[in-house]
Structure 1
Amino acid sequence: MLLQNFDPANGHCNGTRYTIMQLNSHVTEAVIAIGPHSAWSCFIHIGAIDCADEQNVDMCRTYDIRLFPTIKTFFPNSKPSDIGTNYDKARNSVNVLRHNLIDLSVQYYMQSKDPQWETLSPINSVDDILKYRVSSHSVIVIITEDKGSYLGKEVILDLSKYSKILIRSMLSDVVPVEYQVTHFPSLLLIDKNGKLKTLIHSNLTTSFCVNYLKNVSGYATNISGIKDPSLGYIASMKPTLKSIQINKPAAHMQDLLSGIHYMFQQEIAIRKNIKGKSLKSLQNFIEVLSKYFPSETSVSIYLSKVNSWLSTIQYSITGKSWLEKIDSLQAEDAFLPKKIIWIGCRGSRPQYRGYPCSLWTIFHALTVNAYLKNRNDLSSNPAEVLSAVSNYVSKFFGCEECSRNFQKMSQNISSVIHSHEDSVLWLWEAHNKVNKRLHNDFSEDPFHPKIQFPSAEMCPACHNQNINDNSKIIKTNQKWNKAAILDFMIHFYSTNLIKVSESIKNSYNNLLAENSGKTAESFLVKLENRTEELDWWEKKQRKRDLQNLHSVKEQRRQNHLRKLIERNVNRHDLHLKVRSSRTFWIFSEIDIGMCIIFYIFCLSLLIFLYFHFARRKGKRLCKLLPY
């Protein structure tokens, strides 16, 4: 089984996902006319998991998905506890993927000798194929080829669902002389006795062999009018040019908060274990985030609480524990809005921009605000933010290729950053290098082309006056006015100038004002009475909040009920002990014991008094005693 784990917000993931879907359409193409099952489904199944979906976080954490796109392979009879084997081979084209999957299949057969996979192994003689012939086989085929050729195996897999066709491959050095085969690869049709009927050796391709054998075996069907649903989905991946409103470039607080929400709830929470250098990188980044994130008071308090808690972790933490703890730290005056709404980072389609865009915005805002706070502090570390960002990207950012490229750029940060101005400008320059590399890439949003930022329209002073370039893509050898760039970045990303959506701000302010001094539970109860029109995400979040509220109430009720039951059980146990301690009489063992003690005491007292008064009267105490 081939399983791809991807993040739709990751441009590199979308490229690989497109290739995987093309592969899926290739392996299903051969049987579109006769049924819904994959042509390779006897051997290989292909699936995908969207790790950006919160419902899949636990699954992605269980299978230890750290980078995107990740492809894992599972061999037959894998145990539920198996997390698969990472597929680290080339994946840049459908043919490469097909060939690598065939190699894995042959490797599995050589190790397991599973008879179901024997058809992928070349035969050594004609008798080896004739022994598998049954009455339902109308065509017997041998594909002769040189060692290293994939033609035979591909045709075998493509036709594995066709029961009328018996087909195997044979290496060129064992082909019978009587067949007079001089060119390889060749396609041989033989009869039930092994006699050669047809020999074809020119222009052999996988598609030609498949179509030819379908025709001669009676499976020929006009499939031109039949569409594969997966092909339609692949087509939908391509950008559809339509009229949309482009937001004016600006830094929006909602983009930053959505980025932090995704980072906390998905990117970090998906990790199975966070320890060692990964834990240290996370601690450093959260510390920088709490110090320089240009947020509102409630978010600042929340980030400080997360930082204070995380700094106490010494050895390791699980992604599940991280998620539970950051949720428990939220309060009315310290919370992170549970909203993922893109404004400035909104793409023309869901797979464009989004989280990567917001992450760049967060990084720029951190460097700018660190500059504003520390520019007069000579003792501060100018590389503090970039070092934390670089380490976080290397350990947690899901895009494997993006992370690797960023590490190449940032490997000499400590030696090139001498001031906080350098930090701001270094990240600006690095971002432009990435934009240049990704321009015209598959991941680029056609409505938001990768430009050299800022454009001449946004900041005329940032560009040298002697260069007149009206194109949106500024040439990489253009010289910039670094002083103007620094001033522009400060004004673009400073706390006071980051745009806050009025509707969102009013919504939170109203809810907080209405619930001032009340409990968190009463704050959530307010959600039940909201009647204004909500968008799809708010409806989803409100439903989730209400479910959380009801689950909290139910948990409290269960705890209270459990305590009552335990109290009643304890009373019942005590009652049973008292009853079990009673004898057949009306007194308990304690009562009888007290009576015996009192009886002995009284008897002793009487004996003592008897001896005392008898001696005083001079009488013999007993006839047996002497006077």
Structure 2
Amino acid sequence: MIANYTKSTYLITCLCILNVHLLYVQSEQSDLYSPLDDVIRLNSSSFEPTVFHLSKNVTYVVQFYNTFCGHCQMFAPIYKNLASRVKNWTSVVRIAGVDCSKDENVITCSQNKVRGYPTIYIYPPNPQKDKTEDEPLDLRSLKIEWTVDDIEEAIVNYVEGLKGKNRKYPPVVEALQPVDVSRRVDFKRLYSSKNDHDDAINDRHGPQDLMFIVESDKSYLGRKLIMEYYRINTRLELRRILLKQTELLKSMLTEEDFSNLDKNQPILFKLNYPEDGSRKGQVLVKGEAKDLLPTSTEAERDDFIQDRFKAFLEHYYIVELKDSGYGPPLIGTKDKKPATYEEKKDPGSEDLEIEYLIHSDPVGSKKIFATDILKGITYMITHEIKIKGDLSPSELNTIRNLLSILNKYLPLDRWDPDVNKLIMEMRTRLDENRSKYEIDGVKAQEIRDILELSGADKIRSRYTNKNWVNCHDSDKYHKGYTCSLWILFHSLTVGEYMKAAPVKVRPTMVLFTMRDYITKFLGCSVCASNFEKETESLDASLDYRNSSALWLWNTHNIVRQRLNNESPIDKRPLAEVIFPSPKRCQECYKTPAPEIGTDGKTYSDIQWNMQKVLGFIIDLYKPDRLVTPNELALLLSKIKGKVNYDLIDGDPFKSKTRFVSPDLNNSSEEWKIQSIFSTSDMSICLFLYLSCIVIVIAVCLVLNPKWIRSKSK
């Protein structure tokens, strides 16, 4: 019986551990990087102790990103590849990331002056906060392509350049410099006698082997290898000699090796100390890429040479590398394709009700849901504005205009009075000190105080970044916050048109506010830059009352076509990308549907019936016709039983909250817990748990019969 009890306990324990693991995996789904990647994920509590730890001579490369940012998603595989490529540089460089879309990281991102996503900063080793010389390097300032090779070389240049700064730098910086025999320390390394060799190497308990990479001054091979193998520097000192240092090379190599030097091919040699007292090097590896790969490109030859040198060193120092925790050989990893953002998704975590509603339900699939707009507004106000930090008078004016159009053109009081109250109180508090703010701007702490006093925390917990409806993440073209921005401003332009039409006023405030907000506050810097280009001639494009609504519709289609063209792997037919599609509104087109996108035709070749398009946009985006949170709950309740609810944990319809959204039930949590266990599975677990209790009681009774007799007396 005791054995049975032990087995039952073991089973329950295993189930608990499995459930905890599943919840952990579920929590990772919302991030661009997982524990399986070589990117160190930092947050508000770990950032400062990690990056500013004074006992480490490590340079940190930190990407500040936003999970909703499409360009961050596109860049994620590149950053993973970079982290994988340099993962054995950990004694010198480490790759990290901070997700600025998470509320817990807002202050960290704001304090580091993150103005767009993705942003990459390179922090010096042993930095001190608030010291000008310890300011991180913004990778954008280098004007380079954000490829793995370019970023890797930028990191090498940064570490090598630490010597030229008025600061303490780690020993590896010295090793990256070409050997200079005019310097005493380098001279003693090369020309010390056999007896004093051990003391002459350096003050780091001199290495047993002294090797040199001979290369051109533009080559990065030697510096990359020094960064890679510096972790075994007690056994190996690896240094660089430039091919142009002919006198030095002539004195160190045999006459034959020196005469065979190819001015464009690197070599690796070891400095030996033979009995005759000579100081001649033994050539260990030659590049020879031109001879072996005569038809290959320069980049392919460089990869071949690097792999050849690394293969030798990994074989030569296999014991030392293993003891130092060196990872598996990286030869050939340049072609490794890391998992993309979409590939990490867990299909079991989808909200099946919402997916059915937007893709299959005859009513819901043709509606726009106010819940997504409320989520977007919440994120704008409580996150993007907050993360901006100090606001200039111009930025403050943009926020005031934004609050005005939200209040004027959206029925927020009907959708959610609490959101309406937040908008009104924010505007009131900003107006109270308007004269001061218009001169000095608003400090970051003042913005945080205004948000707190206006009730932002309550709204933020209600409208989280989960369970989007129209912007559900089952569709890569309609995903999350950026999707909600398009819906928001479509609704605002339509609302503005409907209010302006009776009085024949040309409405423009919504589009100009949208332009100002996106260019000044939108985290995706590439998106903001592209949108700014689209709005260069905005004023000249708004001639009629309906121009704002139609201009935004047209611009949105241009953006959709461009994004589709930038994704050749997942590229869809043009008829499926433009909006509305021919299936959705056939009368909106003058061009026959079969001709759309054929024979190289693009969006600009399509002829439209603009009156029908305008009518379609108004019917779809008119604020009074959007599905409210209450109506969403009713729609979801009507489709119960049409989807497999065994994959969904919890019931979103039991909430007594007046304003229901898919995640209101769980407003106090960061994310909604979902399990792969069905109701029957949970019933079995409960039965086993109760059975274990009964078994434990029975065991106690059997092992302690005196207790039974004492009770019977």
Q: 1:172 maps to which residue?
A: 243
Find out whether 1:292 has 2:409 as its counterpart.
yes
In structure 2, what is the Cα distance between the partners aligned to 1:115 and 1:542? 46
1:179-198 aligned within 5 A? 179-180=258-259, 181-193=261-273, 194-198=279-283
Distance 1:238 1:496, change over 3 A: closer
> Among 142, 147, 153, which residue is 1:93 paired with?
147
Q: 2:157 maps to which residue?
A: 103
**SS of equivalent to 1:46:** strand
What is the CA deviation profile of residues 542-570 of structure 1, one whole-angstrom value per residue up to 9, with x for unaligned ones?
Answer: 369xxxxxxxxxxxxxxxxxxxxxxxxxx
Q: 1:202 maps to which residue?
A: 288
What is the deviation of 1:504? 6.0
Distance 1:278 1:77, change over 3 A: same
1:13-162 aligned within 5 A? 13-28=72-87, 39-81=88-130, 84-88=136-140, 89=142, 90-111=144-165, 112=167, 114=169, 116=171, 117-125=173-181, 127=187, 129-130=189-190, 131-132=200-201, 137=207, 139-162=209-232
**SS of equivalent to 1:420:** coil
**SS of equivalent to 2:546:** helix
**SS of equivalent to 2:391:** strand
What is the CA deviation profile of residues 318-367 of structure 1, one whole-angstrom value per residue up to 9, with x for unaligned ones?
Answer: 34433432343349x99995444300101138997100000010010000
Note if contact 2:81-2:336 (Cα within 8 Å) is conserved in structure 1.
Answer: no
In structure 1, what is the Cα distance between the partners aligned to 2:109 and 2:63? 11
Between the two proteins, what is the percent identity of the paired residues? 22
In structure 1, what is the Cα distance between the partners aligned to 2:109 and 2:81? 23
Residue 430 of structure 2 aligns with an amino acid whose one-letter code is: L
Distance 1:326 1:188, change over 3 A: closer
Q: 1:325 maps to which residue?
A: 450
Larger Rg: 1
Distance 1:225 1:162, change over 3 A: closer
Residue 7 of structure 1 aligns with an amino acid whose one-letter code is: N
Find out whether 1:410 has 2:521 as its counterpart.
no
1:381-530 aligned within 5 A? 381-441=506-566, 451-469=577-595, 475-502=603-630
Distance 1:417 1:8, change over 3 A: same
In structure 2, what is the Cα distance between the partners aligned to 1:469 and 1:60? 48
Structure 2 residue runs of 5 or longer lacking an equivalent are 1-59, 191-199, 274-278, 290-301, 348-354, 360-364, 636-654, 671-713
> Among 261, 274, 279, which residue is 2:391 paired with?
274
What is the deviation of 1:250? 3.4
Find out whether 1:306 has 2:464 as its counterpart.
no
**SS of equivalent to 1:168:** strand
Q: 1:253 maps to which residue?
A: 370
In structure 1, what is the Cα distance between the partners aligned to 2:343 and 2:216? 42
What is the deviation of 1:129? 4.7
In structure 1, what is the Cα distance between the partners aligned to 2:189 and 2:412? 72
In structure 2, what is the Cα distance between the partners aligned to 1:202 and 1:346? 54
Distance 1:200 1:401, change over 3 A: same
> Among 25, 43, 65, which residue is 1:6 paired with?
65
Distance 1:149 1:113, change over 3 A: farther
What is the deviation of 1:242? 8.8
Distance 1:136 1:336, change over 3 A: closer
Q: 2:679 maps to which residue?
A: none
Residue 191 of structure 1 aligns with an amino acid whose one-letter code is: L
Q: How many residues align?
A: 511
In structure 2, what is the Cα distance between the partners aligned to 1:23 and 1:226? 12
In structure 2, what is the Cα distance between the partners aligned to 1:461 and 1:105? 62
Note if contact 2:471-2:483 (Cα within 8 Å) is conserved in structure 1.
Answer: yes
Residue 206 of structure 1 aligns with an amino acid whose one-letter code is: Q
Distance 1:352 1:147, change over 3 A: farther
Q: Once superposed, what is the RMSD of the aligned Cα atoms?
A: 4.0
Distance 1:81 1:281, change over 3 A: same
In structure 2, what is the Cα distance between the partners aligned to 1:223 and 1:301? 55
Distance 1:536 1:138, change over 3 A: farther
In structure 2, what is the Cα distance between the partners aligned to 1:381 and 1:444? 42
**SS of equivalent to 1:140:** strand
1:530-545 aligned within 5 A? 537-538=663-664, 541-542=667-668
What is the deviation of 1:206? 2.1
**SS of equivalent to 1:464:** coil
Q: 1:342 maps to which residue?
A: 468
**SS of equivalent to 1:348:** coil
In terms of mean alpha carbon deviation, does 113-122 or 317-326 score higher?
A: 317-326
In structure 2, what is the Cα distance between the partners aligned to 1:446 and 1:357? 19
Note if contact 1:11-1:442 (Cα within 8 Å) is conserved in structure 2.
Answer: no
Distance 1:444 1:280, change over 3 A: farther
Note if contact 1:288-1:385 (Cα within 8 Å) is conserved in structure 2.
Answer: yes
What is the CA deviation profile of residues 56-101 of structure 1, one whole-angstrom value per residue up to 9, with x for unaligned ones?
Answer: 1111122122211111121123113356332213352111100011
**SS of equivalent to 1:166:** strand
Q: 2:26 maps to which residue?
A: none
Residue 432 of structure 1 aligns with an amino acid whose one-letter code is: N
Distance 1:361 1:351, change over 3 A: closer
In structure 1, what is the Cα distance between the partners aligned to 2:540 and 2:554? 16
What is the CA deviation profile of residues 383-411 of structure 1, one whole-angstrom value per residue up to 9, with x for unaligned ones?
Answer: 21111110111110111111111111112
Note if contact 1:271-1:318 (Cα within 8 Å) is conserved in structure 2.
Answer: no
Residue 460 of structure 1 aligns with an amino acid whose one-letter code is: Q
Distance 1:282 1:445, change over 3 A: farther
**SS of equivalent to 1:17:** helix
TM-score (norm 1): 0.72
**SS of equivalent to 1:273:** coil
In structure 2, what is the Cα distance between the partners aligned to 1:360 and 1:444? 25
In structure 2, what is the Cα distance between the partners aligned to 1:370 and 1:161? 63
In structure 2, what is the Cα distance between the partners aligned to 1:311 and 1:531? 32
Q: 1:359 maps to which residue?
A: 485
In terms of mean alpha carbon deviation, does 348-357 or 453-462 score higher?
A: 348-357
What is the CA deviation profile of residues 458-489 of structure 1, one whole-angstrom value per residue up to 9, with x for unaligned ones?
Answer: 11011115452477997442111111111111
What is the deviation of 1:311? 3.3
Distance 1:323 1:114, change over 3 A: closer
Distance 1:295 1:535, change over 3 A: closer
What is the deviation of 1:208? 2.3
